[in-house]
Structure 1
Amino acid sequence: MTAARTLSPPRSPARSLPASARRRVVAALSGALTVAVPPAAEAQKRSISLIRDAEIEQLLRDYAAPIFKAAGINARGTRIILINDRAFNAFVADGKSIFVNIGVLMDAATPNEVIGVLAHESGHLAGGHLARLRQEIQGAQILSIAGLLAGAGAVVAGARSGGGSMGNAGIGAMGALTGPQELVRRSLLAYQRSEEQAADRAAVRYLGAAGMSAKGMLTVFGRFAENSAFLSRSIDPYTLSHPMPTERIAQLETLAKASPHFNKLDPPELQARHDLMRAKLMGFVEREAGVARRYGMADRSMAARYARAISDYRSGRMAQALAAIDQLSAEEPRNAYFLELKGQALLEAGRAREAVPVLRQAVALAPNGGLIRQMLGHALLSTGQPALLDEAIRELSNAASREPDSADAHQHLSNAYAAKGNIAMAELSAAQYAFVKGDWTVAHTQASRALGKLPKGSPAALRARDIVDYVPPDKQR
Structure 2
Amino acid sequence: MSAASDPVKRRLTLRASRAVAVAVACAVTVTSLPTPAHAQRMPLIRDAEIEQLLRDYTRPILKAAGLAQQNVKVIIINDRGFNAFVMDGRRIFVNAGALMDSQTPNQIIGVLAHETGHIAGGHLAKLRTELANASTMAIIAVLLGLGAAVAGSRSGQVGGNPAAVAMAAPTSMIQRSLLAYQRQHEEQADRAGVKFLTSTGQSARGMVETFKRFADQQLFASQGADPYLMSHPMPRERIAALQEIGKTQFWDKKDSPELQLRHDMMRAKLHGFLDQPGIVARHYPLSDQSLPARYARAISTYRHGDLRQAIAQIDGLIQAQPNNPYFYELKGQMLLEAGRPAEALAPLRRAVGLAPSPLLIQVMLSQALIATNDPKAADEAIGHLQKALLTDPDIADGYAQLAKAYGRKGDIAQADLAAAQAALARGDSRTARQLALRAKERMPVGSPGWVKADDIASVRPTGTSGGRRP
> TM (normalized to structure 1)?
0.85
What are the equivalent positions in structure 2 for 1:25-40 lying under 5 Å apart?
A: 28-29=32-33
Secondary structure of the 1:231 match is: coil
Residue 278 of structure 1 deviates from its aligned partner by 0.5
Match of 1:20 in 2: none
**SS of residue in 2 equivalent to 1:213:** coil
Who is 2:131 aligned against?
Answer: 137
Asked if residue 124 in structure 1 is aligned to residue 118 in structure 2, the reply is: yes
1:22-60 alpha-carbon deviations (Å, 9 max, x no partner): xxx9x93259xxxxxxxxxxxx9xx73111111111100
Question: Deviation of residue 265 (structure 1)?
Answer: 0.5
Q: Does 1:273 align with 2:262?
A: yes
Deviations 1:268-324 (A, max 9, x none): 100000000011111111222211111111111111111111111111321221111
Q: For residues 188-337 of structure 1, what are the structure 2 equivalents within 5 Å?
A: 188-257=178-247, 259-337=248-326
Correspondences of 1:49-88 after superposition (within 5 Å):
49-75=43-69, 77-88=71-82
Cα separation, 1, equivalents of 2:461 and 2:141: 32
The one-letter code sitting in structure 1 at the alignment partner of 2:424 is F
Change (3 A) 1:442 1:218: closer
Contact conserved, 1:155 with 1:169, CA < 8 A, in 2? no
| 1:361 corresponds to 2:360 | no
**Alpha-carbon shift at residue 185 of structure 1 (Å):** 0.7
Instruction: For 1:106, give the aligned amino acid.
Output: M
1:345 CA displacement = 1.5
CA displacement 1:75-133 (0-9 Å, x = unmatched): 55211111111111111101211111111111110000111111111111111111111
| Secondary structure at 2:160 match in 1 | helix
SS across alignment from 1:340: helix
State how far apart, in whole Å, the 2-side matches of 1:173 and 1:438 are. 46
Contact 1:162 1:169 in 2 (8 A): no
The separation in 2 between residues aligned to 1:273 and 1:455, in whole angstroms, is 50
Q: 1:160 to 1:457 in 2, by over 3 A?
A: closer
1:144-184 deviation digits (Å, cap 9, x = unpaired): 11111122223333444446x6xx333x4323222211110
- From 124, 129, 151, the counterpart of 1:157: 151
- Tell me how large the CA RMSD over aligned residues is: 2.2
Alignment correspondent of 1:3: none
Could you report, residue by residue, the CA deviation over 1:185-229 in whole angstroms, capped at 9, with x for unpaired residues?
110000110111111111111111101111111101110121112
Deviates more, 1:133-142 or 1:266-275: 133-142
Paired residue for 2:7? none
Amino acid at match of 1:92: V
Alignment check: 8 A CA contact 2:299 2:310 kept: yes
- Structure 1 partner of 2:373: 384
Q: Aligned with 1:28: secondary structure?
A: coil
Q: Residues of 2 paired with 1:305 and 1:76: CA distance?
A: 38
- Establish whether residue 169 from structure 1 lines up as the match of residue 163 from structure 2: no
Distance (Å, rounded) in 1 between the aligned partners of 2:297 and 2:349: 25
2:94 to 92, 97, 100: 100
More relative contact order, 1 or 2 (CA 8 Å, 6+ apart): 2
Counterparts of 1:462 and 1:330, CA distance in 2: 50
**Cα distance 1:254–1:442, how it changes in 2: closer, same or farther (>3 A)?**
closer
CA offsets, 1:409-436, max 9 Å, x none? 1111111111112222212212212322
Q: Which amino acid aligns with 1:139?
A: N
The SS at the match of 1:80 is: strand
Letter of the 1:409 counterpart: G
Paired letter, 2:288: D
For residues 438 and 164 of structure 2, what CA distance do their matches in structure 1 show? 60
Shift of 1:74: 2.9
**Aligned CA distance change for structure 1 residues 28 and 231 (closer, same or farther; 3 Å):** closer
Equivalent-residue separation in structure 2 for 1:437 and 1:63 (angstroms): 27
Deviation at 1:461, TM superposition (A): 3.8
Maintained 8 Å contact 2:430/2:460: no
1:455-474 equivalence runs, <5 A = 458-468=447-457, 470-472=458-460
Q: Structure 1: give runs of 5+ residues left out of the alignment.
A: 1-24, 32-43
> Residue 112 in 1 paired to residue 92 in 2?
no
- Number of aligned residues: 429
Q: Cα gap change, 1:365/1:458 in structure 2, threshold over 3 Å: closer, same or farther?
A: farther
Larger Rg over CA atoms: 2
CA contact (8 A) 1:159 1:169 kept: no
Alignment partner of 2:68: what SS? coil
Judging changes above 3 Å, is the alpha-carbon distance between structure 1 residues 299 and 254 closer, same or farther for their aligned structure 2 residues? same
- Report whether the alignment pairs 1:371 with 2:360: yes
Match in the other structure for 2:333: 344
Partners in 1 of 2:378 and 2:171 — Cα distance?
62
Deviations 1:251-277 (A, max 9, x none): 1212211x2111110011000000000
2:224 is paired with a residue whose SS is coil
Question: Matched residue of 1:87: which SS?
Answer: coil
Q: CA offsets per residue over residues 231-270 of structure 1, 9 Å max, x none?
A: 231321111111022211111212211x211111001100
